[in-house]
């Protein structure tokens, strides 16, 4: 967040916030109020509780009325730079604390979840449970797939769902997070799995703001509706042909006939 943005947001939002029962009579009033709401949200984000709003209003009036300023420009620049740097350090500390807490919660969940009946863990740490096993082709990284899915945080919060949108999603297998790439290739067309994805196979320490926090372990219900691609279907067809070509064992009746 830049120095100029912090200064402008604080000044405008503080001024608008100081007006009691604003009457929006004309377009100028409405524009001013809309700008104040927008800037006020930014002030809240940067830590408005640490800013003296009366001093902000005084500075805004002095500048607008052409009065002599109480601070030199270089002192103001230095003050705002110091404030911005301190705020950034505070935000970084909060982020690191959240990252550590989510990592611990994810590890605890996966340790306990991996012991449950039906839950399997791969070498990468991905966990999955087969809810329904399909009989169609398995996708490869070069295929695209059509799926229905629901994604949840550990507290049960649904952050994304094709079921809610009532429309399946089609995408390339290689274009999604590593946990999905691996999980999809375990599934046959028509399968439904629950995937338990550790953060390093999901969105990592960055997360996917605002829906997914940093270092979040995620749970997905995934229904593989269709494999779209020649690779998987060719492999499935070849496997069927190979199975059909294998000689079958002679049945007892056939063995008796052979002795005659």
pLDDT-derived band at 230, boundaries 50, 70, 90: low
Report the pLDDT value the prediction gives residue 141, as an integer from 0 to 100: 94
Per the prediction, the chain carries an average pLDDT of 83
pLDDT-based confidence at residue 177 (cuts at 50, 70, 90)? very high
pLDDT at 36: 67
Report the alpha-carbon distance of residue 197 to residue 19 in Å, rounded. Answer: 50
Percent of the chain with pLDDT over 70: 74
Residue 258 predicted with pLDDT over 50: no
Q: What is the pTM of this model?
A: 0.66
pLDDT at 219: 98
> Which pLDDT tens digit goes with each residue over 125-163?
999 999 999 999 999 999 999 999 999 999 999 999 999
Q: Residue 139 has what pLDDT?
A: 96
The C-alpha atoms of residue 196 and residue 201 are separated, in whole angstroms, by: 10
Q: Which residues are CB-contacts of 201 (< 8 A; sequence separation ≥ 6)? A: 124, 125, 126, 177, 178, 179, 182
Catalytic residue set: 149, 159-160, 177, 203, 220
Mean pLDDT, rounded, for 242-246: 65
pLDDT in tens, 48-107: 677 776 776 687 778 878 898 999 999 999 988 988 888 889 888 989 999 999 999 999
Q: What is the mean pLDDT of residues 231-247?
A: 60
């Amino acid at each position: 967040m830049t120095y100029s943005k912090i200064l402008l947001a604080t000044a405008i939002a503080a001024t608008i916030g100081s007006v009691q029962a604003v009457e929006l009579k004309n377009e100028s009033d409405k524009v001013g109020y809309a700008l104040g709401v927008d800037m006020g949200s930014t002030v809240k984000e940067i830590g408005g509780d640490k800013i003296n709003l009366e001093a902000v209003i005084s500075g805004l009036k002095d500048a607008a009325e052409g009065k002599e300023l109480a601070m030199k420009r270089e002192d103001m620049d230095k003050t705002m730079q110091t404030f911005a740097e301190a705020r950034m350090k505070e935000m970084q500390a909060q982020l690191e604390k959240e990252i550590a807490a989510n990592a611990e919660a994810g590890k605890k969940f996966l340790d306990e979840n991996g012991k449950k009946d039906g839950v399997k863990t791969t070498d990468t740490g991905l966990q999955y449970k087969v809810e329904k096993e399909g009989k169609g082709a398995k996708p490869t990284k070069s295929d695209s797939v059509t799926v229905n899915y629901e994604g949840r945080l550990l507290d049960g919060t649904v952050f994304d769902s094709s079921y809610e949108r009532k429309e399946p999603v089609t995408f390339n297998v290689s274009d999604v997070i590593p946990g999905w790439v691996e999980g999809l290739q375990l599934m046959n067309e028509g399968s439904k799995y629950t995937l338990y994805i550790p953060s390093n196979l999901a969105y990592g320490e960055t997360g996917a703001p605002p829906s997914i926090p940093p270092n979040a372990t995620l749970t997905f219900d995934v229904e593989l509706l269709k494999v779209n691609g020649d690779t998987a279907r060719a492999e499935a067809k070849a496997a069927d042909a190979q199975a059909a070509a294998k000689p079958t064992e002679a049945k007892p009746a056939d063995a008796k006939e052979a002795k005659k």
